[in-house]
Amino acid sequence: MTTATDNRSIQDKANEFVKPGHLLINGEWVEASSTLETINPATGEVITTFAEADAADVENAVSAARAAFEGKWSVIPAARRGKYLAKLADLILEHGERLALLETTDNGKPYFESSKIDIPFAANVFHYFSGWADKLSGQTIPSRSDAFMFTRREPLGVIAQIIPWNLPLVMCAWKLAPALAAGNTVVLKPAEQTPLTALALGELIIEAGFPPGVVNILTGRGEVTGAALVKNTGVDKISFTGSVEVGKEIMRNSADNLTKLTLELGGKSPNIIFADADMKSALRGAINGIFYGKGELCCAGSRLLVERSCYDEVVAALKEAASGLQVGDPFDKKTRIGALVSKEQMERVLSYVEIGKQDGATLITGGERVAFNNEFSEGCFVSPIIFADVDNKMRIAQEEIFGPALAVIPFDTEEEALSIANDTQYGLAAALWTNDIKRAHRMAASLKAGTVWINTVNMFDPSLPFGGFKDSGFGRDLGEDALDGYLQTKSVWVDLS
């Protein structure tokens, strides 16, 4: 267990590593006119202050990004861009422990998640895209003898990137790495709840030697900094990850400028257990699918569809497994569910416990704020929630809760499972558990989701595209597809007649 003293030293370390109250503009830490506080959701304590960028700061950052795009960044060899990214990846690994400490303190997630998964994954993403920088070629199109026709793939220019609080450093990597590999420059805004690792990354970006203005980092609230960035006429493209509601607002607010958009939005992903599955892995997948990351994952398997012949057995096993998950101090190695990101988020999650009960679902475990009589007494802890006997029409099955809350829904046939799985506004991800290979492929082809996992869940690789169908958005992060979102094709026609 950590003690109050350890927590204070964590705060000191945070202040050492980031420049509180500053914005990264044109390669320098610039003071802002106002500041906000970021809170450790496990203790309720203020960690540090950070800057809020206003419209003037946004304008400066966008101008710096434009100058870098038209200037040095456009003329350095592509392989060199890749080297900056690789260097940044190495620095992330080198500073992994401090980054993980900041991530867990700011977000509340268990330290093992930050240190063993998030930070190495962020580095992997930079490494992966570093290799792409000099491999972005166009085509020659040999369809006429009187002309030489070819295409060039060119960067878009200045990219605004707005990201959520659930995977703060990972989201920085998903956004920055492909945009920079493709030759763009960036103004990035992290979420107000979790600004610290983005600021720490800013330090590492300077250390990696990126030319000034290539990456600018602006902290602040969405309605202030985010909105100014979205409306700025110097921005060529916005890449946003967050809620459907804010995604729509960004679309409306950028429409007048016809700014290009990628939206990675929410999910209500089905996790489907067929009776012929390997039950041990299916159960582990059901628990990890929703409770990893406190359920604050866009792709969380928040609807568990279970074939009726094994439904009672699965529900009983889930209840036992969930009540065995340790909730509490994110720095305790045994903790599996840390603090939810904020009081607001905790209240939102708890409100769905009431909604589920009112709609007639059976709460089989969890759903209460977990109280501690020590430095965690103000922490945002909730015991893992499982509702059984859920009808897919209920609000807990249709609305994204974005917390450790599972809705278990029985089904009788494969057709019914598919129909329930697709009966949602979202289409981000789906998982299924079966030993029938034909069924697995039938389902994978018919599920309306950007990612389908078969006999596994929540697996990511930098080379595999990730993004949504339906209201879960458009455009892709990761993989070669992510680069497409940061490039435009120019056709060149040379007359040979």
271 neighbors 305 (Cβ within 8 angstroms): yes
Of Mg ion, ligand NAP, none, which one does residue 335 interact with (CB within 5 to 8 Å by kind)? none
Nearest of 200, 232, 219, 161 to residue 34 by alpha carbon:
219
If the CB atoms of residues 170 and 322 are measured against ligand NAP, the closer one turns out to be 170
How would you write 255-312 as a 3-class SS string? Answer: HHHCCEEEEECCCCCEEEECCCCCHHHHHHHHHHHHHHHHHCCCCCCCEEEEEHHHHH
Q: CA 402 → CA 119, 292, 346, distances in Å? A: 22, 12, 10
Give the range of 113-121, 124-132, 235-243, 441-449 binding ligand NAP by CB under 6 A. 235-243
70 neighbors 138 (Cβ within 8 angstroms): no
Does position 166 interact with ligand NAP (CB under 6 A)? The reply is: yes
Does position 243 interact with ligand NAP (CB under 6 A)? The reply is: yes
Catalytic residue check, 299: no
If the CB atoms of residues 328 and 427 are measured against ligand NAP, the closer one turns out to be 427
**Coil, strand or helix: which one is 250?**
helix
Q: CA 364 → CA 315, 353, 386, distances in Å? A: 8, 11, 6
Alpha helix ranges (H) inside 324-436: 343-358, 395-398, 414-422
Does position 38 interact with Mg ion (CB under 5 A)? The reply is: yes
Residue closest to ligand NAP (Cβ): 222
Does position 106 interact with Mg ion (CB under 5 A)? The reply is: yes
Catalytic residue check, 172: no
User: Alpha-carbon dihedral of residues 470, 472, 474, 479, nearest 10 degrees?
Assistant: -120
Count the residues of the shown chain that bind Mg ion, applying the rule CB under 5 A.
Answer: 4
Give the range of 5-13, 27-35, 136-144, 224-232 binding ligand NAP by CB under 6 A. 224-232
Catalytic residue among 298, 299, 310, 380: 298
Question: Min. distance of Cβ 493 from Mg ion in angstroms?
Answer: 53
Does position 103 interact with Mg ion (CB under 5 A)? The reply is: no
**Distance (Å, rounded) from C-alpha 250 to C-alpha 266?**
15
Does position 189 interact with ligand NAP (CB under 6 A)? The reply is: yes
Question: Min. distance of Cβ 198 from Mg ion in angstroms?
Answer: 12
Give the range of 112-120, 156-164, 201-209, 301-309 binding ligand NAP by CB under 6 A. 156-164
Catalytic residue among 103, 264, 296, 307: 264
Does position 451 interact with ligand NAP (CB under 6 A)? The reply is: no
Does position 307 interact with Mg ion (CB under 5 A)? The reply is: no
Does position 191 interact with ligand NAP (CB under 6 A)? The reply is: yes
97 neighbors 112 (Cβ within 8 angstroms): no
- For residue 2, what is the DSSP state? -
Active site residues: 264, 298
Residues in touch with Mg ion (CB under 5 A) = 38-39, 106, 193
Residues in touch with ligand NAP (CB under 6 A) = 162-166, 189, 191-192, 221-223, 226-227, 230, 241-243, 246, 249-250, 264-267, 298, 400, 402, 428, 468, 473
